[in-house]
Structure 1
Amino acid sequence: MSFSVGGLMLNESLVIAQAYRPGETWACARERLLAQGTSSLPKLASQTRALREVYDRIGHLFDTERHYLSAEADRAEQQAIVWLAVCRTYRFVHEFAVEVISERYQSWRLDLGHEVFDRFLAEKAESDSGLAELSPSTCAKLRQVLFRILREASLISIDGRIQPIWLSGRMKRLIEDSNPADLRVFPGNGG
């Protein structure tokens, strides 16, 4: 549940995707990226945590997706690719995207309030002791950050309504080539 570190972190994700060196260890990459000032976060500990988070996310993309993110995608596609990376990194977020967001979008229940998240978390906590042990303040922080990510990825509007994500043919093919089921994390694409 370390997605509580920040939001979508699109700008940092782009820098890391552009600086990505296949086969490089995290320790070397982290030192190099910190030395280059990749993050705009003020404290070294915050930078390290955020960069580790972003690097882990970008690591869940395939080489073709990383290249597309850093060299070809427009801003909306960059948001979508980073959202995909978040979903691949965190099972909980992936399940929320598929079981809640996509299901609500398909049934035209487009409002996505905090109570929907709270109910989903409570249901998941029934079968996951790790989630059941989260404090109320941690649950509130996770909800706050997930909704921030959803807004920054344009999956929900400012007023909390689910919005479709229209993928270009090229991006759709990239995702289909790696895992067609991943299209389900994008409302309006994965039926």
Structure 2
Amino acid sequence: MLDVLLSLIAIPFLLLFICIFGPIIYLEDRGPIFYKAMRLGKGGKPFTMYKFRSMKVNAPDIRNEDGSTYNSDDDPRLTRIGRFLRKTSLDEVPQLINVLLGDMSLIGPRPDLVEQMKYYEKGDERKLEVRPGITGYNQAYYRNAVPWKQRIQHDIYYIDNISFWLDVKILFKTVISVLKHKDVYVEQKKAG
């Protein structure tokens, strides 16, 4: 309920960001404003997650060896505005729509790609016990500085220790990490 209340309060900001960044995203290459992708939600139920589009239209999908999405500051697939949106994490703002729809929470494990489920090992599916979040323990403290499998362990740590105060700490730490632009891009080996 608190998630929905905070999301409702954030709607004017979401609309402002859409009004500011929407035309810039569109005019750069005449593509859609939003990136929509299927992600794993609570209980493994797939849902459509919304973000501001940061890549060029029809950019190829590149994955790391562990199945996670490849990202890099010099990724040629990024648009100019997309590079800014990613660096500032403003590309995540449209996920407030997902919170209002009940697919996501403000704080929780980051949602995995649907196809990443095939890489889950025993116990990894525990991260699906709660709704995924716009930010979470891993994003607040490590962002992209650790491999995907370690992120899952951080997600399970969060689930085992979930509390109002941990959420407050995560929220403040996320703001600090985003402002410092810390660990946004981490070079990993690309698959195939």
Does TM, scored on the shorter chain, surpass 0.5?
no
Give the alignment's TM-score, normalised by structure 2.
0.23
Q: Which has the higher contact order (CA 8 A, sep 6+)?
A: 1
Give the alignment's TM-score, normalised by structure 1.
0.23
| Between structures 1 and 2, the one with greater strand share | 2
| Between structures 1 and 2, the one with greater helix share | 1
